[in-house]
Chain A
Amino acid sequence: MTSTPTTPTTAATREAYPFALAELVAEGIDVVAIDADLSVSTMGYQFGEMHPDRWLTVGVAEQNMVGIAAGLAAAGKTAFIASFASFLPGRCFDQLRTSVAQPKGGLNVKCVASHGGVTVGEDGMSAQAIEDLALATSLIPFDVVVPADFEEARQALIAVGQTTRPAYVRTGRPKVPGLYSNGYRFQIGRADRLREGSDVTLIACGILVGIAVQAAEALSAEGISARVLNMATIKPLDREAVIAAASETGAIVTAEEHQTHGGLGTAVARVLAETVPTPIAFVGVDRYGTSGKWDELLGYFELTPQRLAAAAREVIARKR
């Protein structure tokens, strides 16, 4: 629990949270972390075991949690708050807006929302957050990050902890195959090009990144060359990477475990509209869900390599 894996490992992104917090404390950052009775799931409790003086739980009270974090930040602390993505930001959006985002251009509060998207699984639609990125990206000073694997989550949480800006980081429940070793260097606002390609670019975040790589491999067998960008940072978006993808491949597919309104796809489409208008297809979740195992739900919602490949063929056909 105190050592960090050095090679890509199959783990849930949420498991990186306590490691990242401990590393920030070791760097001398004055961290206080708060949970709202879900610490066994957000993994915040592990940090509480390491640093009991820097961790507290406020009971089932997300609004109070945000206000406490704002007060801590106003007094100079780096405040982390954790809950499920269905409650954070949904249950406490007004508190994030009024008490965190608006004061002084944004207080130093980091939201770490676990169980993002539909892969929360059996808990069903009320627990499946497909709106959180739309809400979080609407908070003006916030950075918004959706890491793809354990190592990227660890580095992203450290990176946001090293700034004084507010941030929203979405982590996931299921264990997913690792993409990165600790030789990787995450940077806020920088896409990572996982695969070169010239016919189309698949731009994904979170659990869809690995699925996009599989889609690109399948397309390659048909002679279609697909670039894959891991766009972990939704805000600020890596505009240069999007423009380069549009200019060099001429077709874009976005993929996210979120509705297609207000998340990664919307952000990418805006850059294209402003710079290099390019055919684009959006893969996401535009209906409320149901119970099932997380991998079954990926199939149910067609968050699959097959669907991404089909979207790629469709968007390539629209190229002029």
Chain B
Amino acid sequence: MSIAVAPVSIDELKATARRLRAHIVRMVASAQSGHPGGSLSAVELGVALFWNHLRCDPANPGWPDRDRFILSKGHATPFYYGLLAERGYFGIDQLAGFRKLGSPLQGHPSMGAMPGVEMSSGSLGQGLSFAIGQSIAGKMDGRDYRCWVLMGDGELNEGQVWEAAMAVPHFGLGERIIALVDRNGIQNDGFADTIMKTNPPEMWRGFGWHVIECDGHDMAAVDQALAEAERPHDRPRCVVAYTTKGRGVSFMENNPSFHGKAPTGEQLETALKEIEAGL
């Protein structure tokens, strides 16, 4: 059994992306904590993936043949929970509980706490390894599901990412695992080039991957990059999406201080207006 993905138009995806951005800033403002910057940067990647590429059935989140989406950059929960709610895994009303006592929507994802949450994360660098385990199990069980692993560029500092990166081609799992890198150029303490200067495409290529680069905020380009990543290749595929931290809200864009800071009430109003206008 396989649920075919019915493609959604780029315009519809863009409308969904605007709604998701609004969820993100509302959740962080309501909780007065959380990570808006790296949530807003990942929006196009997440929306294009969940509507046009990820084999999933929100009504049946435990479907054994589903593609697994693994949020390795676990701090991007405003993005993740908003995405799952928009896709129909749970009600949008649940988002109001984000980071609040009594809500299952913890600051970082807790496996099984909500439908669609495949893995506990928050401590960075662990998602790709988890995907290898899921994929080996899929191979043993004759299932052809794929694992899509979303990582941040700061997260690539973690050594475990590279332990896993070398293992994917070694175990011949390139048809089952697709790596996605949100290259927004900012990590917790500041600009990535000053904290730890890296060259993600060269690093992935050096570990035997085929790298697909795209503008991470051009929805059509992202959609196309994900389609290319689905096509067979002799190497495993990694999509490096060039993005802007805080994308869609002028005062958050490319601003390291909004990695993990909430907007004030006034800033929220401005943010929602800018998102609606599709800055």
Binding site for B on A (CB under 8 A): 32, 53, 56, 58-59, 61, 63-77, 79, 94-95, 97-99, 102-104
Kindly name the residue among A64, A76, A79 whose own CB sees the greatest number of chain B CB atoms within 10 A.
A64
With A56-B171, A75-B141, A95-B126 as contacts: A68 and B132 at CB distance below 8 Å: yes
- A52–chain B nearest beta-carbon distance, Å: 12
With A75-B134, A99-B130 as contacts: A64 and B163 at CB distance below 8 Å: yes
B129 in complex: contacting residue of A59, A67, A97, CB < 8 Å = A67
Inter-chain contact A103/B136, CB cutoff 8 Å: no
| Docked complex Cα distance between A263 and B122 (Å) | 29
Inter-chain contact B167/A58, CB cutoff 8 Å: yes
Q: Per-position contact with A for B107-131: 1 when CB-CB < 8 Å, else 0? A: 0001110000011111101111111
Inter-chain contact A67/B133, CB cutoff 8 Å: yes
| Docked complex Cα distance between A95 and B170 (Å) | 22
A103 in complex: contacting residue of B119, B133, B159, B164, CB < 8 Å = B119
| Docked complex Cα distance between A74 and B136 (Å) | 11
Inter-chain contact B133/A69, CB cutoff 8 Å: yes
Inter-chain contact A94/B123, CB cutoff 8 Å: yes
B137 on interface, CB distance cutoff 8 Å = yes
* A74 to chain B: closest residue by CB: B134
User: Which DSSP category, helix, strand, loop or mixed, fits chain B's interface?
Assistant: helix
| Docked complex Cα distance between A77 and B130 (Å) | 13
Inter-chain contact B164/A67, CB cutoff 8 Å: yes
* The 3 residue pairs across chains A and B that have the minimum distance between CB atoms: A71-B133, A67-B129, A75-B137
Q: Per-position contact with A for B166-189: 1 when CB-CB < 8 Å, else 0? A: 110011000000000000000000
Chain B residues whose C-beta falls within 8 Å of the C-beta of A98 in the assembled complex: 120-123, 126
Kindly name the residue among B121, B131, B134, B135 whose own CB sees the greatest number of chain A CB atoms within 10 A.
B134
With A63-B163, A75-B138, A95-B160 as contacts: A70 and B122 at CB distance below 8 Å: no
Chain A residues whose C-beta falls within 8 Å of the C-beta of B123 in the assembled complex: 94-95, 97-98
Inter-chain contact A70/B121, CB cutoff 8 Å: no
Inter-chain contact B137/A77, CB cutoff 8 Å: yes
- A278–chain B nearest beta-carbon distance, Å: 40
B59 on interface, CB distance cutoff 8 Å = no
- A38–chain B nearest beta-carbon distance, Å: 15
Interface residue range, chain B: 20 to 34
B140 on interface, CB distance cutoff 8 Å = yes
* B147 to chain A: closest residue by CB: A71
A63 in complex: contacting residue of B121, B141, B159, B166, CB < 8 Å = B159
A66 in complex: contacting residue of B129, B131, B136, B140, CB < 8 Å = B129
Q: Would you give 8 A-B contacts (Cβ < 8 Å), ordered by A? A: A32-B140, A58-B163, A59-B167, A68-B129, A74-B111, A75-B133, A77-B137, A94-B123
- Beyond contacts A66-B129, A95-B126: 8 other A-B pairs, Cβ-Cβ < 8 A, are A61-B167, A67-B160, A68-B133, A70-B119, A70-B130, A72-B133, A76-B141, A94-B123
Inter-chain contact A70/B133, CB cutoff 8 Å: yes
Inter-chain contact A103/B120, CB cutoff 8 Å: yes
Inter-chain contact B159/A59, CB cutoff 8 Å: no
Q: Per-position contact with A for B130-162: 1 when CB-CB < 8 Å, else 0? A: 111111111011000000000000000001100
Inter-chain contact A102/B171, CB cutoff 8 Å: no
Chain A residues whose C-beta falls within 8 Å of the C-beta of B110 in the assembled complex: 102-103
Chain B residues whose C-beta falls within 8 Å of the C-beta of A53 in the assembled complex: 140
- A32–chain B nearest beta-carbon distance, Å: 7
Inter-chain contact B160/A64, CB cutoff 8 Å: yes
Kindly name the residue among B120, B121, B128, B159 whose own CB sees the greatest number of chain A CB atoms within 10 A.
B120
Chain B residues whose C-beta falls within 8 Å of the C-beta of A69 in the assembled complex: 133
A71 in complex: contacting residue of B122, B132, B140, CB < 8 Å = B132
B119 in complex: contacting residue of A61, A74, A79, CB < 8 Å = A74
- B145–chain A nearest beta-carbon distance, Å: 9
Chain B residues whose C-beta falls within 8 Å of the C-beta of A64 in the assembled complex: 129, 132, 160, 163-164, 167
Inter-chain contact A71/B160, CB cutoff 8 Å: no
Chain B residues whose C-beta falls within 8 Å of the C-beta of A65 in the assembled complex: 129
| Docked complex Cα distance between A42 and B126 (Å) | 25
Inter-chain contact A102/B129, CB cutoff 8 Å: no
* B160 to chain A: closest residue by CB: A63
A67 in complex: contacting residue of B126, B137, B159, CB < 8 Å = B126
B134 in complex: contacting residue of A61, A72, A94, A102, CB < 8 Å = A72
Inter-chain contact A67/B130, CB cutoff 8 Å: yes
| Docked complex Cα distance between A70 and B163 (Å) | 15
* B127 to chain A: closest residue by CB: A67
Inter-chain contact A71/B135, CB cutoff 8 Å: yes
Chain B residues whose C-beta falls within 8 Å of the C-beta of A72 in the assembled complex: 133-134, 136-137
| Docked complex Cα distance between A77 and B123 (Å) | 24
Kindly name the residue among A32, A56, A67, A77 whose own CB sees the greatest number of chain B CB atoms within 10 A.
A67
Chain B residues whose C-beta falls within 8 Å of the C-beta of A71 in the assembled complex: 119, 129-137
* B165 to chain A: closest residue by CB: A64
Chain A residues whose C-beta falls within 8 Å of the C-beta of B167 in the assembled complex: 58-59, 61, 64, 68
Chain B residues whose C-beta falls within 8 Å of the C-beta of A61 in the assembled complex: 160, 163, 166-167
| Docked complex Cα distance between A65 and B131 (Å) | 12
Chain A residues whose C-beta falls within 8 Å of the C-beta of B121 in the assembled complex: 98
Chain A residues whose C-beta falls within 8 Å of the C-beta of B112 in the assembled complex: 103-104
| Docked complex Cα distance between A59 and B135 (Å) | 18
Chain A residues whose C-beta falls within 8 Å of the C-beta of B125 in the assembled complex: 63
Inter-chain contact A67/B132, CB cutoff 8 Å: yes
| Docked complex Cα distance between A69 and B110 (Å) | 17
Chain B residues whose C-beta falls within 8 Å of the C-beta of A95 in the assembled complex: 123, 126, 129, 160
